[in-house]
Structure 1
Amino acid sequence: MFALLLALGSSLAYGCADFLGGLGARKAHVLRTVMIAAPASLGVELLLWPVLGASFDPATLAWGAASGVASAAAFALLYKTLAIGPMNVLSPITALVSAMLPVGVGLVQGEHLGPAGLVGLPLALAAVVLVSAGPGANAARPSRTALLLALGAGAAIALQLVFLHQAPSDSGVGPLIFGRSVSSAVTLAAAAVMFGRLGPEKPAYGISAAAGVLDSVANLLFLLAARSGDLAVVAVITALYPAGTVLLARGVLSERISRGQLVGLGTAAVAAGLLALT
């Protein structure tokens, strides 16, 4: 139960972070937003070091670095995805993709899906179709580019979570600190290479920093949850984060979705719940 509560907390933090990151990326180039968000995340993890401890053995550094590269890709792809919008459609697609890979890894490592999980997996796939197809003249339909970005963001998020889970369980926040250091370095390097194409717009500093802080909190809660529970279950509970993004998108941006897409969102919630019962 403790692992589930941590995973739910991670889900809530991810949902709020994604909304703010997507909102920030609408005001300036996505890399400008990530340049603020990634160092802000690192700052939070450094503050947690004296409290939770950290070790930096070779395995921690390797898995931390891998998660950092995946995190940099996830930041850029996800914020660009949500900037294109509609958030309330693309965020659930990203979440479902991000849940599938950790479930597969968990199964390979010896975790088992019960009858509920065997029903939940095909339901999750059906939800992707429903959410992305949304018929009707007034439906909020994502573009092909946005869908591809959402799929890429989901894969990057999944890899980040899997790599964090592989880090030694006694490494404290070591993999988070090193991973975020690598993520920040990759982001700054990419920004330097593309500097001439970033445009003159200034990033929304407060929004971007808040997104980074919340993302760091979400990563920490996920790591703690995965260390005390099954990866397959924790990853799927964490993947419920679009609920927060969708509610904020509807409340702040007045985004609308069709009935078919609402069915897709409901199906996604049922699928995630079934997978959590495994």
Structure 2
Amino acid sequence: MTALLLALGSSLAYGCADFLGGLGARKAHVLRTVMIAAPASLTVELLLWPFLGASFAPATLAWGAASGVASAAAFALLYRTLAIGPMNVLSPITALVSAMLPVGVGLVQGERLGLAGLIGLPLALGAVVLVSAGNGARTTRPSRTALLSAFGAGSAIALQLVFLHEAPSGSGVGPLIVGRALSSAVTLAAAALTFRRLGPEKPAYALSAGAGVLDSVANLMFLLAGRSGDLAVVAVITALYPAGTVLLARSLLAERIHRGQLIGLGAAAVAVSLLALS
């Protein structure tokens, strides 16, 4: 039950972080948003160090660094994806893609899906098609670039979660600190190299920092959930995060959700639930 609650908390925090990050990336170049979000996330993890402890053994450094590289890619791709929009289509696609790889890793490591899981996997793929299809001219169809970004973001998120899960269980917040420090460095270096192409717009400081803080909380909850539960189950419960993003987009941005999309979102929820029950 502890792992379930932590995974649900991680899901909620990720969904809110993605919404804020997506809004921030609409106001300025995505790298400007990530330049604020990543260091804000690192600050939270450093503040947690005295309370939760941290070790920096070679395995912790290796897995933390790997998660940091994946995190930097996930930040940039995800916020760029949500900035292109529509959020209520692209966020669920990203989530479903991010759930598939951890499930596969869990199976390879000896975890087993029951009948519910075997039904849930193809249902999840069907949900991707339904959510992406929209409803003719009455809805905003995602561009090919947006869809590719969504799949790339989902893959990067999946790798980040897998790498965090592989870190030693007694390492505290060490993997998070190492990963976020590296992702911050990568982001700042990329921004420095492309500074002239970032445009004159100032970043949305509050939105970007809020996204970083929430992302850090989500990562911590996932790390703790993965240490007390199966990776496949924790990952797919965490993948429920688009519910928060979609509801916020509907409430605050008036993004429309049509019948086909509702069916797709419902199928996605059922698929994730079945995978969690397997």
The answer to whether TM tops 0.5 is yes
1:155 CA displacement:
0.1
* Residue 246 (1) aligns with residue 246 (2): yes
* Residue 92 (1) aligns with residue 92 (2): yes
Q: Give the share of equivalent positions with the same residue, in percent.
A: 86
Q: Which residue of 2 aligns with 1:34?
A: 34
TM-score, normalised via structure 2 length: 0.99
1:135 CA displacement:
2.9
SS at match of 2:27: coil
1:136 CA displacement:
2.1
Q: Which residue of 2 aligns with 1:75?
A: 75
- Which residue identity does 2:104 align to in structure 1? G
Q: Which residue of 2 aligns with 1:230?
A: 230
Q: Which residue of 2 aligns with 1:137?
A: 137
* Residue 117 (1) aligns with residue 117 (2): yes
- Which residue identity does 2:208 align to in structure 1? S
- Which residue identity does 1:264 align to in structure 2? G
For residues 167 and 114 of structure 1, the distance between their equivalents in structure 2, rounded to whole angstroms, comes to: 27
1:140 CA displacement:
2.6
1:143 CA displacement:
0.7
- Which residue identity does 2:67 align to in structure 1? S
1:137 CA displacement:
1.9
Q: Which residue of 2 aligns with 1:216?
A: 216
RMSD: 0.5
SS at match of 1:55: coil
For residues 138 and 247 of structure 2, the distance between their equivalents in structure 1, rounded to whole angstroms, comes to: 19
1:50 CA displacement:
0.3
- Which residue identity does 1:192 align to in structure 2? A
1:199-251 Cα distance to aligned partner (Å, 9 max, x none): 00000001100000000000000000000000000000000000000000000
1:136–1:258 CA contact under 8 A, matched in 2? no
1:90–1:150 CA contact under 8 A, matched in 2? yes
Q: Which residue of 1 aligns with 2:265?
A: 265
1:158-190 Cα distance to aligned partner (Å, 9 max, x none): 000000000000000000000000000000010
SS at match of 1:170: coil
For residues 68 and 2 of structure 2, the distance between their equivalents in structure 1, rounded to whole angstroms, comes to: 27
The 4+ residue runs of structure 1 with deviation greater than 6 A are: none
For residues 190 and 136 of structure 2, the distance between their equivalents in structure 1, rounded to whole angstroms, comes to: 40
1:134–1:260 CA contact under 8 A, matched in 2? yes
1:141 CA displacement:
1.2
- Which residue identity does 1:195 align to in structure 2? F
1:57 CA displacement:
0.3
Q: Which residue of 2 aligns with 1:255?
A: 255
Q: Which residue of 1 aligns with 2:183?
A: 183
* Residue 49 (1) aligns with residue 46 (2): no
For residues 122 and 207 of structure 1, the distance between their equivalents in structure 2, rounded to whole angstroms, comes to: 36
- Which residue identity does 2:233 align to in structure 1? V
1:75-108 Cα distance to aligned partner (Å, 9 max, x none): 0000000000000110000000000000000000
Identify unmatched segments of 5+ residues in structure 2. Answer: none
1:257 CA displacement:
2.2
